[in-house]
Amino acid sequence: MFQPTFPIRTARLTLRPITLDDLDDVHAWQSRSDVVRWMYGAGPRTREQSRASVLAMSGEDALRTEGDCLTFAAATDLGVVGIVELVWRSEPDRTAELGYVFHPDHGGRGLATEAATAVLDWGFDEFGLHRIYARCHGRNDASARLMARLGMRQEAYHVESYLFRGGWADRRVFAVLAEEWRTRRARRRSVQAPDPGQGCR
């Protein structure tokens, strides 16, 4: 079994398992048509549907076998503002899929990027993955921009590759390898590091 040492803390977020106490926060975005627009399913969820979703996610606290999903609640002092998921797609290929959903009211602040970065760090450094990929609807530009900000490269654009709400839809596929991720992280940290010659006096 592979389980993060919870909580994982970033500059502004606490990443932890989902609990039933998070129902109000989760339903706040699952009930919005603009959030579920690109997601599988019939549409915005009722509170009871969100309750079932939260109960399911609350059990996704570790990766026990291939196919399992690990769900991280991204919490601030205002509550849970989104979730990030890591699905173990292939044990021999050391591959997983990244997913995420965030409340639009907290958009534009880089919180989804911050949370996903921490999950990618865990996936590569602690879980030992070789490759992490993510997919989105061909017209979901916001999701594609997030993947690009994370340093994932677009590997494919599949035309009419899956059925989505009664019609054929295109899909974008992005991915990053462990070596690429670590190189990008080292470069990012070197840029952020203060000049040792400019210390306080």
Q: Does residue 192 lie within any of the structural domains?
A: no
Q: Does residue 155 lie within any of the structural domains?
A: yes
Q: Does residue 136 lie within any of the structural domains?
A: yes
* Contacts for 57 with CB less than 8 Å, ≥ 6 apart: 18, 26, 71, 83
Q: Does residue 150 lie within any of the structural domains?
A: yes
What's the whole-number mean pLDDT along residues 30-59? 93
The CA distance from 12 to 37, in Å, is 27
Q: What is the domain-level CATH number for residue 94?
A: 3.40.630.30
Q: Does residue 191 lie within any of the structural domains?
A: no
Domain range for 106? 8-184
Q: Does residue 108 lie within any of the structural domains?
A: yes
The CA distance from 91 to 129, in Å, is 9
* Structure confidence by residue, pLDDT tens digits, 48-97: 999 999 999 999 999 999 999 999 999 999 999 999 999 999 999 999 99
pLDDT at 17 over 50: yes
Q: Does residue 200 lie within any of the structural domains?
A: no
Q: Which has the minimum average pLDDT: 38-42, 138-142, 178-182? A: 38-42
When divided into structural domains, the chain yields a total of: 1
